[in-house]
Amino acid sequence: MFDHLLFTNRTNARYIFVLPLQAYCVLGEVSDEYRNHTIWIEEVPSEKKESRVYRITRSVPQIVDRTAPTMFETVFADHNGRPTLLHLVDALVDSSVGKINLDLNKNLTIDLFEGKERTSEELVSQWRDISGFVVSDRFRFEEVLVDRSYLTSLKQPGSAVTIEKIDKDNLLPVLDYDGEVSIYDRTEHVTALLHTPGISGNVALRDGQPCGYALACKNRILLCYAENDEVFKQLISSLAQDMKCAHCKMFVRNGVNDVTQKIIEAAKERNAVTRLHTRTNIHGIKWNMVYCTNIGLHIF
């Protein structure tokens, strides 16, 4: 499920992907005029079913501290005024995993795209201290911009791995392979991606059996899963070959794999991503098979 939340007055936007006990959201934009404010909101009817829109009715330029309320404050204080981030987290939780046993067995994950150093530190601090995302991910993620020619040069002539376009005839084997990457059933998610205009994919085969697949949209590689470096190189080079842009974007993990590390080192641009969780790191994923992550759409 995807949900888009927007606070009017140029305030905030979020996206969320939901699994049974795991919610995933991505920080969109936070207007400076509400970043360190306590706000009051009301929901506005929206024509789009996938969107929830809120109007800010009141704002004060400070974070109201309610960490140790007095008895009077507990009974009589106006609890509708909350920091912007808390309003967003509450709305996302309500529309996804729900608040029942939220602190016991449900995990929330967020990816924060870092900008200026000072702003990034402040943003991470707010999500940790105000919103309860206190667990740092064990991986370091980066968005990189790479020359397309560098990616095409990774192709290995004479490889036993063959590449085919993903279509309705080989979709089922691709979905079966995706099921090997994690414990999650992503049939609906992957199928929806492949049916989205502008998204195309390649599947890698060895002896007629899938050994990896990758999806791309315009100049962005959305994901790439492979059983080893050779398969990854064949997939990534085949996608790059079909692109018309001079550069290609993707999300990778820093410091975990030689071939992706060389891509990071060859990048024209690098943007760090901070991933935080409320309870725990994400389990049930074979990260050794994940070469390019699906950040922004899924937890891997």
- List, in order of start, the domains of the chain with CATH numbers: 2-133 (no CATH), 143-272 (3.40.630.30)
CA dihedral sign, ordered 225, 226, 232, 234: negative
At residue 63, the pLDDT reads 75
Q: Is the pLDDT of residue 9 over 60?
A: no
Residue-level pLDDT at 149: 97
Distances (CA, A) of 73 to 41, 70, 78: 20, 5, 8
- Residue 55 phi, psi (nearest 5): -105, 135
- In the predicted structure, residue 187 carries a pLDDT above the cut 60: yes
Q: What is the pLDDT of residue 23?
A: 74
Q: Which residue has the higher pLDDT, 184 or 23?
A: 184
Give the pLDDT score at 49.
Answer: 67
Tokens standing for 265? 């080192």
pLDDT tier at 175 (50, 70, 90 boundaries)? very high
Nearest to 24 by CA among 286, 219, 293: 293
Contact yes or no for 171/191 (Cβ under 8 A): yes
What is the percent of the chain with per-residue pLDDT over 90, rounded to a whole number?
50
Per-residue confidence (pLDDT) for residue 270, from 0 to 100: 95
Q: Look up residue 292 and give its two tokens.
A: 């390019």
pLDDT in tens, 21-75: 777 777 666 677 777 788 888 888 877 766 778 888 888 887 766 555 555 455 4
Tell me the pLDDT tens digit for each residue of 249-270: 999 999 999 999 999 999 999 9
Check residues 298 and 169 and name the one with the higher pLDDT.
169
pLDDT on residue 2 = 37
Please determine, for residue 100, whether its predicted confidence score (pLDDT) is greater than 60. yes
What is the average per-residue pLDDT within 64-93? Answer: 67
Better-predicted residue by pLDDT, 47 or 142 = 142
Specify the pLDDT at position 45: 83
